Structure 1
């Protein structure tokens, strides 16, 4: 698989994030193995569900670009690196457990918080 970018803006669920901040992910794979392709599919589904219209995925095939493995400190395949928003996070695995991925990415999935952020309101009244 060539190094490339994938975007999808299909809206399935309310966004887990507010504002227009774009989430930037690099997915490091080693060829088009079934496990690597499953990870890409799961990452796209996750982003479409929780980060619609606010993400970019770059796929880096380490068989074609082995120099990136050392510079990105990749120790296992597949690895996803979330670069933006800060902090940078490394996630090893296939993104099949959405709840675990939400936790690892630091996304608050409390339904009241999501609903409030989508309405551009505070989830709780401000302190007086």
Structure 2
């Protein structure tokens, strides 16, 4: 996941396998809420997705035109690629809600802690 900090980098070093969760996080990199969302997403991937995720980070400050493609109206926004309508806006602190909204079902997810705070 260390490579995912740069826009366009992946959590699995570019290797694609079956059952990989394709995620796209729209951020503004110098925005604190975006940084928190990225840290929370890394935590979710480490705890529940067991390295089976590909994270594409899109900095809208550098590529604002990309927001139109996925109809992004606020940041941070996380979407699950190839699953229309599977998106969540906020700092991703409510891990259970993130997992449920994006339909990220894994054996290690049995109901992540429902922490207080915005999603």
After TM superposition, the structure 1 stretch with the greater mean CA deviation from structure 2, 54-63 or 31-40, is 31-40
Partners in 2 of 1:26 and 1:47 — Cα distance? 13
Partners in 1 of 2:6 and 2:47 — Cα distance? 25
| Structure 2: segments with no counterpart, 5+ residues | 109-119
* Larger Rg over CA atoms: 1
Q: Is the 2:87–2:102 Cα contact (8 Å) retained in structure 1?
A: no
Q: CA RMSD in A?
A: 2.5
2:78 is paired with a residue whose SS is strand
With normalisation by structure 2, the TM-score equals 0.72
Structure 1 residue ranges, 4+ long, deviating more than 6 angstroms after superposition: none
- Which residue among 42, 67, 71 is the counterpart of 2:65? 67
* Alpha-carbon shift at residue 101 of structure 1 (Å): 1.4
| Structure 1: segments with no counterpart, 5+ residues | 9-18, 116-128
Partners in 2 of 1:105 and 1:28 — Cα distance? 15
Aligned length: 101
With normalisation by structure 1, the TM-score equals 0.67
